[in-house]
Structure 1
Amino acid sequence: MQYLKRYLLICIAFICILLGIIGIVLPLLPTTPFFILALACFARSSQRFHQQLLNSPYVGPILADWEADKRIDKQRKKQIMLMIVCSFAVSIWLLQAQFHLQLLLIVIMFILLFCIKRIAEK
């Protein structure tokens, strides 16, 4: 049973990494939470993959900060929020003729911003 749990967590972690990478270009998928979830799965299943994720040049420093004290740097938080607003603004602009989809994107954007705002700052 432990063997199955370990490999299930590793699979979930790799799926989260894939979704995080996709989330870099798609505004509806938040990138950072997927990488945090992958880090948590690796911490319980594979120390090697856990360390590789922490050593990643792109997401490693953010994840190391999160793992250390469950907080995000204030400047990084502002950058995340700005990226959310910019990517959603482009998506909303591209859907000019579809008001209901624009409204849905606005609601999702505010939910994401609210969730990010609630994360403790350094």
Structure 2
Amino acid sequence: MKHIVNGVCVTLAFISLFIGSIGIVVPILPSTPFFILALALFAKGSKKFHGWFMSTGIYKKHLHDFVSTRSMTKSTKIRALTIITLFLGAGIIFSPPFVKAVLLVVLVLHYIYFIFGIKSRGDSI
């Protein structure tokens, strides 16, 4: 069973890595959250792939600072929150009332985490 879970984690990590890579080129798609997800899934699924991912230029350019300092630039935080707001906002608009309430809470928690839980490099947000 453990091999199946590890295989699923590695597969999802590669999918997340692929989507994040598209986000480097497509401005509306955030890359950093997908790379963080890939990092976590590689760590859960395979030490070999986790080590490989940490040695890539993608990791060094997009995640190393966040993982080591738990900080982001102000522009990265704003971009991530903008995308999160757009996607959750669409869900809020097209959902039944109970789901709207849950999505609104999730949105507020995202803002609280990004503003107070992640340090800003340079100017504070």
Offset, 1:119: 4.5
TM-score, normalised to structure 2, is 0.60
> Is the aligned partner of 1:28 residue 2:28?
yes
Instruction: Give the secondary structure class of the aligned counterpart of 1:30.
Output: coil
Unaligned runs of 5+ in 1: 89-104
Structure 1: distance between partners of 2:47 and 2:76: 28
Partner residue in 1 for 2:2: 2
Partner residue in 2 for 1:80: 76
Unaligned runs of 5+ in 2: 90-106
Deviations 1:32-67 (A, max 9, x none): 010000000011111121112111123325433433
Deviations 1:93-115 (A, max 9, x none): xxxxxxxxxxxx8x52997x947
TM-score, normalised to structure 1, is 0.61
Q: CA RMSD in A?
A: 3.2
Partner residue in 2 for 1:120: 118
Moved over 3 A (4+): 64-69, 113-119
Structure 1: distance between partners of 2:64 and 2:118: 15
Structure 2: distance between partners of 1:22 and 1:59: 15
Structure 1: distance between partners of 2:29 and 2:5: 26
- 2:76 maps to amino acid: I
Equivalence map 1:1-122=2 (5 Å): 1-60=1-60, 62-68=62-68, 71-73=70-72, 77-81=73-77, 84=79, 108=86, 114=111, 116-121=114-119
- 2:71 maps to amino acid: I
